[in-house]
Chain A
Amino acid sequence: MQVPAPFEYERATSVDHAIGLLERLGGTARLVAGGHSLLPMMKLRLANFEYLIDINDLHGELGYIRLGAGEVRIGAMTRHRELLESDGLATVLPIFRDAERVIADPIVRNRGTLGGSLCQADPSEDLSAVCTTLDASCVIRGPGGAERVVSMEEFHVGPYETAVAENEMLTEVRIPLKAGRTGSAYAKVERRAGDWAVVSAGSAVVLEDGRIVDARVGLAAVGPNTTGIPEISAALRGHEPGEDMYELAGAIAARSCDPSTDSRGSADYKRHLADELTRRTLRTAVERARS
């Protein structure tokens, strides 16, 4: 049995209570939501914290999917399972269901949360790639109820590092819903069900009069951070979607990423997958936008 080093534990009763505890305990404390990344690291003694602040009781406050006219707001404590099962979300942003189908397993999805996934900032994390693809922004709350909103690019500072300060907490993710015919999709290559991505890609497109007015691609596991590729957006804008466009986007994706060789695969292979999965997800996203 793998056991963590000693730590103290407290359950937060409200967001402000959690932030108050963080303010008092500083870097010796860590929030635990689903715990599926944090607890294994603690058991392997790769991470040691003096205090764990359990925010699972905040699911009532922070577990929601609100579909607005121009925006979807998702609470940080929303579980994977809720993202997977939400028909409303699947209708406007099918990329979420695509991704959730290939994230871990039902046990992890029952507990793991959107906020926990983003805050872990693992470069091969799926929901970070989804949120990057969707141009999401993150609501971070600090002491005294002060809130700031940052883009995904600003949110991810580096591998396993985010813009959330020691006395702050991610509370909500906001995703713009664009006008026009929209479609999105996600694809992942993994060595085995439930493994981290060898590479994964998300695409989101907006079509007007049969032409691409916006296209975004997000990649995971091909560099220090999940990567949005603005060059693809620029190259596709104004064009009619088709195989030539997907090929162009794939080529840009392959040369824009920075994968490394590891036990999941060679850098060459990952670069190839960035290309292949970019093309596949764009193709699906366009089909969805048209249908």
Chain B
Amino acid sequence: MTAVFENNDLKPIGYGRMLRKEDPRLLRGRGKFTDDVQLPGMLHLAILRSPFAHAKIVSIDTSAAEASPGVKAVVTGETLKGLGLAWMPTLSNDVQAVLATDKVRFQGQEVAFVVAEDRYQARDALELIDVEYDVLDPVIDVRKALAPDAPLIRDDLTDKTDNHVFDWETGDEAETNRVFERADVIVKEDIVYPRVHPAPMETCGSVADFDPVEGRLKLWSTTQAPHAHRTLYAIVAGLPEHKIQVIAPDIGGGFGNKVPIYPGYVLSIVGSIVTGKPVKWMEDRSENLISTGFARDYIMRAEIAATREGRILAIRTNVLADHGAFNGTAAPVKYPAGFFGVFTGSYDIEAAHCKMTAVYTNKAPGGVAYACSFRITEAVYLVERIVDCLAHELAMDPAELRLKNFIQPEQFPYTTKTGWVYDSGDYEPTMRLAMEMAGYQELRKEQELKRARGELMGIGISFFTEAVGAGPRKNMDILGLGMADGCELRVHPTGKAVVRLSVKTQGQGHETTFAQIIAEELGIPPDDIDVVHGDTDNTPFGLGTYGSRSTPVSGAAAALVARKVRDKAQLIASAMLEVSVADLDWVKGGFQVKGDPGKSVTIQDIAMRAHGAGDLPDGMEGALEAQICYNPSNLTYPHGAYICVVDIDPGTAEVKVRRFIAVDDCGTRINPMIIEGQVHGGLTDGVGMALMEMISFDEDGNCLGASLMDYLIPTALEVPDWETGYTVTPSPHHPIGAKGVGESATVGSPPAIVNAVVDALKPFGVRHADMPLTPSRVWDAMRGRATPPI
């Protein structure tokens, strides 16, 4: 192990393995999270939540709570209504109740809040609020949401008469149907991606400090997008934007869960305004699981058309999407289904079509959270599952079927049949490397021997192409805010530097990766570069960290801002060395005169000169700094080949993931150790989703995953030693050729695991079984009665 750790800290001045700069403080308990914020006179806020999925609020009596010890304020929806704050916009142009006024629409919805001197008093007072509900029939089964007799959930919306949210379509239906008509083989499967939850280690929370004299609001909060949040608070609360400071301190995991604005954040602001004191709100684990951004919840009918020889011709799908009680999807507004349009996967096909209907149900709002690259998780699962179903029908090896249908390297940039322009890719070497690392042919032989003995072993493959790094701003915006990122770089007189980012790490290692990007461009050691992020007063505007967009967007911004600084440095160097700019070579860390390596200046020399008393070139201002706002011209399209090996106990139907091989191609690799860490985390996520995780509801709408005793997330004991590998296909339009990788493993691993389990169950004639593949559900599948989880 020692060797591995040594290898992980090569002290690169640029790209390479390097221990994370943020880790000493996080590992030694010196991190500062939102719940660590303590302010003089700070009060504590607790939220009363609905016990029912659907109920009219008849009356609320807060008198006993108000009289409870330590209580400073009790606020209901009626109070907020008076302030015009009872409703707020969601990220998808819907509205969401901040506190319920008319009725509650999901179990766990915010109904009232208490502010008290400590969090115990606040909690105790909640129990004294007397709410009378008139319980209504809920809509829980998403398939029945559009039935004529389904209860109407959103009677708050003018003229709304049903639970329909939107219809969405992509691809060419007529052409797809034509191709299907002439296909030799058509395979159809109903595939469910159940509702899951990101469940970050740190739950959501905020500390609001409103200064009534200055009219200034300082808000510490668990947000992946501090700038976007600030603008939205300005719009929601009517506060002038320049008087709002949003600070995202250390964040204990986000995975998309901390993209939306939750009522709790707004309530802490209201609480501070009402009491004139700083107010802290931290949700507990159950609140996080029942009320904050869920993910997935797509019911998909997939169809694939192919020739008998295994040439894939077309894919079509029909999707029913459960969006919960409010459409709180966090996605670029022109993409109501996120980037689901990439469901054609990594294959060169003739036609594709998707039709989607989204509906309201009496469940928590949210959607798109959980490291999914805006619904690519669902898209990749769909295509990788249906391709395996096709392999099953054709009795063809699933690796061979994929290799036969890949988009070829010379076809890039490749426009898919749903209009996505894949920037670059070279799929076959990635696939071959994964197969070689796995010993694929030997595994198949082993499987054959074991099958003959009645043992259940499965080998599952998935090959994914992701689309990450939103914008460009023209096509992609969140509530009108274009998805482009600012970046500022300042080199101090002694040659140390500070780079200011709009994106915000939740564990991805930005303080290291971005220092390495600047180091690579300027030759300043990463340890000499301070990375400032997560504070709207001290960073340039940008849309935040989600959808694997930090490296594709802000990473490009960082490289380009460093190049701007280097260009200026070159002018200064030419003055210092008394040669023309054209006679200078950049040698990492400084400039030297062509043909005379003895004559050179370092970037540190130049920085001092830029701030010093000596002459600068005519017309040049002092200082060595630059700023930029980077608008990506396209998304980046990382890809990967994953192979999973499982063993299933034939007696108990328990699934053991024996091996997992992950070969990722995210273009240029900045810090391989951090990439591997991201991949390990995502693969572990994948084991959770494939085998155990699901937010389910009973028929009354009670959430059955309201604690970590009920909502299972995997431990080290459920995962194998990950075997990772890589290929490098740089992005042609990204300044350093990098692509995003944060979500690759979460996207790519569930289909590999499910494909492996289904492969193991082949002797039972199983072609498909839905997640989560708990022992009981696997046992059902073995008995020929695999059922959808909802």
A residues with CB within 8 A of B: 1-3, 5-6, 40, 44-45, 105, 189, 191-196, 198, 263-266, 269-270, 272-273, 276-277, 280
Query: Given B120, B651, B779, which contacts A3 in the complex, CB threshold below 8 Å?
Result: B120
Distance, CA A6 to CA B125, complexed state (A): 11
Give chain A residues whose Cβ lies under 8 Å from the Cβ of B652.
189, 273, 276-277
Q: Are A189 and B774 neighbours in the complex by a CB distance under 8 Å?
A: no
Indicate if the CB atoms of B779 and A192 lie closer than 8 Å.
no
The answer, among B35, B707, B718, B774, for a CB contact under 8 Å with A193, is: B718
A264 to chain B, nearest CB (A): 7
Cβ contact within 8 Å between A269 and B776: yes
Extra pairs beyond A5-B124, A269-B780 (5, CB < 8 Å): A6-B120, A189-B652, A195-B712, A198-B776, A276-B651
Within 8 A of A (CB), among B750-786: 774-776, 779-780
B545 contacts the other chain (Cβ, under 8 Å)? no
Complexed CA–CA distance, A191 and B284 (Å): 24
The answer to whether B715 and A266 touch across the interface, beta carbons within 8 angstroms, is no
B405 contacts the other chain (CB 8 A): no
B395: chain A residues within 8 A (beta carbon): none
CA A45 – CA B712 in complex, angstroms? Answer: 21
Which residues of chain A have C-beta atoms less than 8 A from B659's C-beta? none
B381 CB → nearest A CB, Å? 21
Residues in A whose Cβ lies below 8 Å from that of B495: none
Does B704 count as interface, using CB distance less than 8 angstroms? Answer: yes
Interface residues in B646-678 by Cβ distance below 8 A to A read 651-654
Interface residues of B in 690-736 (CB under 8 A from A): 691-692, 696, 704, 707, 709-710, 712, 714-715, 717-718
Residue of A nearest to B704 (CB): A263
Take A3-B119, A264-B776, A266-B776 as given contacts and tell me if A192 and B692 are in contact as well, using a CB distance cutoff of 8 Å.
yes
Closest to A196 in B: B709
Question: Separation in Å of the B429 CB from the closest CB of chain A?
Answer: 36
Closest to B775 in A: A189
- In Å, the complex CA distance between A10 and B241 comes to 53
Task: Give Cα distance in the complex from A119 to B551, angstroms.
Answer: 54
Does B775 contact A192, Cβ atoms closer than 8 Å?
Answer: no
Q: DSSP class of A's interface residues: helix, strand, loop or mixed?
A: loop
Whole-angstrom distance from the CB of B213 to the nearest CB of chain A? 32
In the assembled complex, the CB of B355 is this many whole angstroms from the nearest CB of chain A, namely 33
Interface centre among B651, B692, B715 (most CB of A within 10 A): B651
B123 interface residue (CB < 8 Å to A): yes
The 6 A-B pairs with the shortest beta carbon distances in the complex, nearest first, are: A265-B776, A193-B717, A269-B776, A2-B284, A276-B651, A192-B712
Cβ–Cβ contact A191 & B774, under 8 A? yes
Residue numbers in B under 8 Å from A273 (CB-CB) = 652
Total CB contacts across the A-B interface at under 8 A: 65
Hey, which chain A residues are within 8 Å of B653, CB to CB?
Answer: 269
A276 — which chain B residues lie within 8 A by C-beta? 651-652
> Contact between B124 and A266 (Cβ–Cβ < 8 Å)?
no
Chain A minimum-CB-distance residue to B710:
A263
A266 touches B780 (CB 8 A): yes
- Which residue on A lies nearest to B203, using beta carbons? A1
User: Taking CB as reference atom, which chain A residue is nearest B44?
Assistant: A1
A193–B35 Cα distance when bound, in Å, is 30
The verdict on A272 contacting B779 (CB below 8 Å), with A5-B124, A193-B718 known, is yes
Residues of B within 8 A of A270 (CB): 776
| Cβ contacts under 8 Å, B120 to chain A | 3, 6
- Tell me the nearest residue of chain A to B650, going by C-beta: A276
The 20 listed contacts between A and B (C-beta, < 8 Å) are A1-B282, A3-B119, A3-B120, A3-B123, A6-B124, A40-B709, A44-B286, A105-B715, A189-B775, A191-B691, A192-B712, A194-B715, A195-B709, A196-B709, A263-B704, A265-B776, A269-B776, A269-B779, A277-B652, A280-B651
Question: Which of B's residues lie within 8 Å of A, judged by CB?
Answer: 35, 119-120, 123-124, 127, 282, 284-286, 651-654, 691-692, 696, 704, 707, 709-710, 712, 714-715, 717-718, 774-776, 779-780
Give Cα A5 to B124, complex, Å. 6
A191 touches B775 (CB 8 A): yes
Residue in chain A with minimal CB distance to B778: A269
Which residues of the partner chain A approach B707 to less than 8 Å between Cβ atoms? 44
The residue in chain A whose Cβ has the minimal distance to the Cβ of B126 is A45
CB nearest neighbor in B for A2: B284
Closest to B716 in A: A193
Give A140 to B717 CA distance when docked, in angstroms.
Answer: 38
- The answer to whether B284 and A1 touch across the interface, beta carbons within 8 angstroms, is yes
Residues in B with CB closer than 8 Å to A269 are: 653, 775-776, 779-780
A192 touching B286, Cβ below 8 Å: no
Residue of B nearest to A48 (CB): B127
Whether A1 lies near B119 (C-beta < 8 A) is: yes
A265 to B692, CA, bound (A): 12
- Complexed CA–CA distance, A189 and B653 (Å): 9
| A123 CB to nearest chain B CB (Å) | 15
Chain B residues lying within 8 Å of A40, measured Cβ to Cβ, are 709
B775 CB contact (under 8 Å) in A45, A194, A198: A198
> Nearest A residue to B772 by beta-carbon distance?
A191
Roughly how many angstroms separate A209 CA and B774 CA in the complex, as a whole number?
A: 43
The residues of B that contact A264 with a CB separation of less than 8 Å are 774, 776
Asked if B718 contacts A192 (CB within 8 A), the reply is yes
For B704, what are the chain A residues with a Cβ–Cβ distance below 8 Å?
Answer: 263
Closest to B35 in A: A1
B651 contact set on A, CB distance < 8 A: 276, 280
Chain A residues lying within 8 Å of B715, measured Cβ to Cβ, are 105, 192-194
Q: Which residues of B contact A105 (CB under 8 A)?
A: 715
Q: Which residues of chain B come closer than 8 Å to A196, judged between CB atoms?
A: 709
Query: Which residues of A sit under 8 angstroms from B691, Cβ to Cβ?
Result: 191
A84 to B214, CA, bound (A): 62
Task: Check A2–B712 contact: CB distance below 8 A.
Answer: no
Chain B, Cβ-Cβ closest to A188: B652
Of the candidates B35, B712, B717, B775, which one forms a contact with A265 in the assembled complex, judged by CB atoms under 8 Å apart?
Answer: B775
**Min distance, Cβ B162 to any Cβ of chain A, angstroms:** 31
CA distance A191 to B717 in the complex (A): 12
- Report the bound CA distance from A266 to B780 in whole Å: 9
What's the nearest-Cβ distance from chain A to residue B166, in Å? 32
Shortest distance between the CB of B43 and any CB in chain A (Å): 15
A125 to chain B, nearest CB (A): 14
> Which residue from chain A places its CB closest to the CB of B787 in the assembled complex?
A266
Q: Is the CB–CB distance between A191 and B780 below 8 Å?
A: no
Cβ distance A288 to chain B, nearest Cβ, rounded Å? 20
Q: How far is the CB of B769 from chain A (nearest CB, A)?
A: 14
Name A199's closest neighbour in chain B (CB-CB). Answer: B652
| A contact residues around B119 at 8 Å (CB) | 1, 3
Closest Cβ–Cβ distance, residue B438 to chain A (whole Å) = 25
Residue on B with the closest CB to A187?
B652
Closest to B69 in A: A6
For A44, what are the chain B residues with a Cβ–Cβ distance below 8 Å? 286, 707
Bound form: Cα–Cα A131–B196 in Å = 38
Find chain A residues with CB under 8 A from B780 CB.
266, 269
Instruction: Say yes or no: A191 contacts B286, CB within 8 Å.
Output: no
Contact residue among B35, B123, B127, B712 (Cβ-Cβ distance under 8 Å from A191): B712
> Closest B-chain residue to A189, C-beta based?
B652
Asked if A265 contacts B654 (CB within 8 A), the reply is: no
A272–B696 CA distance with the chains assembled, in angstroms: 24
Shortest Cβ gap from B224 to chain A (Å):
22
Q: With A and B bound together, what is the CA distance between A265 and B779 in angstroms?
A: 10
Q: How far is the CB of B357 from chain A (nearest CB, A)?
A: 28
B774 nearest CB neighbor, chain A only = A191
A275 to B654, CA, bound (A): 15
Task: Determine which of A2, A263, A280 lies in contact with B285 in the assembled complex, contact meaning CB atoms within 8 Å.
Answer: A2
